[in-house]
Amino acid sequence: MPKISVIIPVFNAEKYLKKCLDSVLDSLRDIPGEILVIDNNSTDHSLSVLKEYAKKHPKTISVLECTTKGAAAARNFGASKAKGEYLWFTDADDHIARTAISRLLNTAKNTDADLVMMGANRVNDQGETSYLSAINPSQPDYKSRFVRYGMGPWQVLIRKKWWQKHNFSFKEGIIHEDMELMSSLILYTDKFASIDEPLYYYNNTPESVLHKADFNPHIYDIFPALTGLYQKFKDAKAEKEYHDELEWFFIWNLLIDSAKDFGKFKEGRPGFARSRKMLKQYFPNWRQNRFLRQKPLKLRLRVRLNYYK
């Protein structure tokens, strides 16, 4: 049985695929593993590139095709086909460090972890990097930090049996599919480990769905994503225990992150009113949030301004 299944959704990623696949192949080397690349209705030459790599590496690379649109559907499809002991959802426009897979697997084995988080370098269009640190499980508030961190699925190695036991899946049909799930994972395990080193390279590309120059109505997917996340905590009877963390998560994503898109486009401006409505519904006293009150005055003023727009 493969030790790891690297699952890569692919949609029009021809420009980045070779670097991505070469990095994963190099990181696997003598490690038993598989790479599941899921073409998701690409209209460029992505599928041709994938088939070329699969032909050269038939024992390692499998090309699957998922006709249901969206990264969530592709990831779910890949996870259902995975044979590895661990899952790693990576993105087709990113790449990984040469030692990433061996380091992650060794850490998972030595700690018996269900989740292993890693650090990452975020790379912008100019090639400049900024470091995204991993959460240290030795810190007493690590679960609190995990909930409000807002990580991507590529930041964690996941034990497949644990994933299947809890019937986890990404919400299909929205672009914030990871937000609806990721912060809730820590509710289901105490077996968490991390490697606070840049094992992953996240490219903040202009081709990303979240960074398009034109208005995309999917920016409103933030609302069902946050609704779904809150429901996951409610189902786990953890919404009160993590009230402040969830409140901060809503504040950050509605009044800071998504507010940039709402203000960028004329068609996005109704998002401000929807944000106010959502905060009034879930967190009417959000202004007193303890994490918000720790932030610099400039950011707190920005949050209030975005709330009243």
DSSP letter assigned to residue 295:
S
- Looking at residue 208, its pLDDT comes to 53
pLDDT score for 129: 87
pLDDT tens-digit profile of 104-162?
999 999 999 999 999 999 988 888 889 999 999 999 999 999 999 989 999 999 999 99
Which residues are CB-neighbours of 300 under 8 A, at least 6 positions away?
A: 292, 293
27-65 pLDDT per residue, tens: 999 999 999 999 999 999 999 999 999 999 999 999 999
Residue spans of beta strands (DSSP E) within 186-286:
192-203
pLDDT at 244: 98
Q: Give the Å distances, CA to CA, from 245 to 22, 27, 145, 174.
A: 38, 35, 8, 23
Per-residue pLDDT, 207: 52
pLDDT digits (tens, 9 = 90+) for 192-247: 999 999 999 999 765 555 555 677 888 999 999 999 999 999 999 999 999 999 99
Q: Which of 71, 15, 16 is nearest to 39 (CA)?
A: 71
Question: Considering the chain, what percentage of its residues have pLDDT values greater than 90?
Answer: 85
Residues 6+ apart with CB under 8 A from 238: 187
Rounded (10°) angle between helices 14-28 and 46-56: 20
Summary mean pLDDT of the chain? 94
What is the arithmetic mean of pLDDT over 154-177? Answer: 96
